[in-house]
Amino acid sequence: MTNLEKMGQNAVNAKYRLQLLTTEEKNKALELAANKLLEKKADIIRENELDIQAGKEKGMHPGLLDRLKLNEDRILAMAEGILQIVKLPDPVGEVMERFQRPNGLDIEKRRVPLGVIGIIYESRPNVTADAFGLCFKAGNAVILKGGSDAIHSNIAIANALREGLQEAGITADALQLIEDTDREVTKAFMGLKEYVDVLIPRGSAGLIRTVTENSTIPVIETGTGNCHIYVDESADLAMAAAILKNAKTQRIGVCNACESLVVHKNVAERFLPMAKEALTESRVEIRGDEETLSILPDCSKATEEDFGTEYLDYILSCKIVDNVEEAIAHINKYNTKHSEAIITENKENAEKFLQTVDAACVYVNASTRYTDGFEFGFGAEIGISTQMLHARGPMGLKELTSYKYAIRGTGQVRP
C-alpha cells in the first residue's frame, strides 16, 4: 500500500465516522479548528515566510506574492470564514422526498455526504481552511493537494486544523494534506478512485483540463468563465454601460468577469462609444470585429481565438450581431457555460435568452459578477461548476452532498 493509498484508506475510515456526527458535534469541531488557527498564528506566519522567501527567489510576480502572503489579519479572516460556516444550516439528513408504493414499501430520499472529497488547488493558502470547513460541515472527509508555492503555509494550516479536530475528539483524518509536491504524486492522486468519491480542481484552466483528462475519479469542473454581455436593440444603454463597466472592471481576474461584449447592430453606433467611455478609466483594450472597427477605428481586430479567450485581464472582445438569435448562437459557440447576460427592455428577447443560452447562470439586466455563493445567499461556496452533472453554478454546502434511498418494508418480495 503506497502512502497515498494509506491516506485514501484513512479518509474512508474517517468518512464513516463523520456520517454519524450530529450538527452540534460538527460545529463544535469547526470552532475548535478555527481557534487553533488563531492559537498557531505565529507558527503559520513563520512557515508562510519560507514560502514567500522561496517565491521571491524564484522571481514570483508581486501580485502572486501578495496572494501568497499571510499576516494576522488574513489568518483572522480564515478563522472567521470557518466560524461563518458554523452558522450555516447542516444539509445532511434532510428528507428530500418520501413516498409510499402500492406494495407498502416506504421510500425516503435522504441527503447524505458525498464521502471523500479530493481538492486540487493552486496559489492562495486560505483555500486550505475554506475547503476543509465547507467539506467538513457537509459531513465529508477531505484530501487536499495544494500548490508547491504554498506548501509550508498549507502544512502549517492543515496541522493547526487537525489539532483542532483532535481536541474535539474527532479523527484528524477528516482533513489530510498531501505534503509531497511531486507531479507524479498528483497524478497518482487522480487515480485514487477506490477511496475518493469526487475530485474538485480549483485554479487555472490548465489545471482543470489536466484533472479532467487524467482523473478516473468523478470530477466537478469549476471556474473557467468566458462570460458575455449582450446589449440588445431595446437596451437601456446607460444601464448597459454601467453593467459592462462593473462586469469587466470591478474585479479583474475572476471567473465571473465579462470577457466579451456582443452588441445589436441597430444600437452599436450609439452604444460602442459609451462602452469605450465606461472602460476608459481602467484602460481596457477592445478587440472588435470588422463592424466594431468601423465605429471605433482605433480598436484592434479580434481574431477567432479572441472570442474563445478568457482574458482575466484588461482586454475585451467585441462582436456586432444582427439580432438576438445571432447573439445567442455566438455565445453558445464560444462560452464556457459559466455566466451570460442580456441587457434588454424586450421581454420576449429576455425570455428567449434565458431559455436558450447554455450557461449555469443567465442574467437579464444585471452584472455577471453576481455568480457567487455569497451573492446567491448560500453563505459560502467551494467553486462555480461549469458542467452539467450534479451541480451547476455556485456550489455551497448542499452541492457537497449526495443522497441515498432508505426503504422500509414488511417482508416485500418481488413477484
Q: Is residue 364 at the binding interface for a copy of itself, with CB under 8 A as the rule?
A: yes
Q: Which is nearer to a copy of itself, 50 or 406 (CB)?
A: 406
What single-letter DSSP state applies at residue 69? -
Within residues 101-130, the interface with a copy of itself by CB under 8 A covers 101, 105, 107, 114-115
Those residues whose C-beta lies under 8 Å from the C-beta of residue 380, and which sit 6 or more positions away, are: 81, 84, 85, 88, 130, 133, 134, 373, 374, 396, 397
| The Cα angle at residue 164 between residues 163 and 166, in degrees rounded to 5 | 65
Residues facing 121 on adjacent strands:
202
CB of 132 to a copy of itself, least distance (A): 19
Q: Is residue 356 at the binding interface for a copy of itself, with CB under 8 A as the rule?
A: yes
Here's the x/- map for a copy of itself, 217-246, by CB under 8 A: it reads as -xxx---------------x--x--xx-xx
Distance of alpha carbon 260 from the chain centroid? 21
Which range, of 50-58, 71-79, 155-163, 400-408, touches a copy of itself by CB under 8 A? 400-408
Query: How many residues line the site for a copy of itself (CB under 8 A)?
Result: 65
DSSP secondary structure string for all residues of 339-357: EEEEE-S-HHHHHHHHHHS
Q: Is residue 96 at the binding interface for a copy of itself, with CB under 8 A as the rule?
A: no
E strands, 134-194, are 141-145, 175-177
Among 30, 393, 395, 396, interactor with a copy of itself by CB under 8 A: 393
Among 143, 150, 369, 396, interactor with a copy of itself by CB under 8 A: 369
Residue pair 107/133 in contact by the 8 Å Cβ criterion: no
CB of 111 to a copy of itself, least distance (A): 11
Report the alpha-carbon distance of residue 139 to residue 22 in Å, rounded: 9
Q: Which is nearer to a copy of itself, 112 or 262 (CB)?
A: 112
Within residues 5-64, the interface with a copy of itself by CB under 8 A covers 16, 19-20
Residues facing 107 on adjacent strands:
99, 407
Residue pair 144/174 in contact by the 8 Å Cβ criterion: no
- Nearest to residue 289, comparing CAs of 301, 298, 273, 281? 301
- Nearest to residue 113, comparing CAs of 16, 218, 31? 16
Residue 325 C-alpha cell reads as: 438569435
Which range, of 71-79, 142-150, 311-319, 347-355, touches a copy of itself by CB under 8 A? 347-355
Binding residues vs a copy of itself (CB under 8 A): 16, 19-20, 99, 101, 105, 107, 114-115, 193, 197-198, 212-213, 216, 218-220, 236, 239, 242-243, 245-247, 250, 332, 350, 354-356, 358-367, 369-370, 375-377, 387-390, 392-393, 402-414
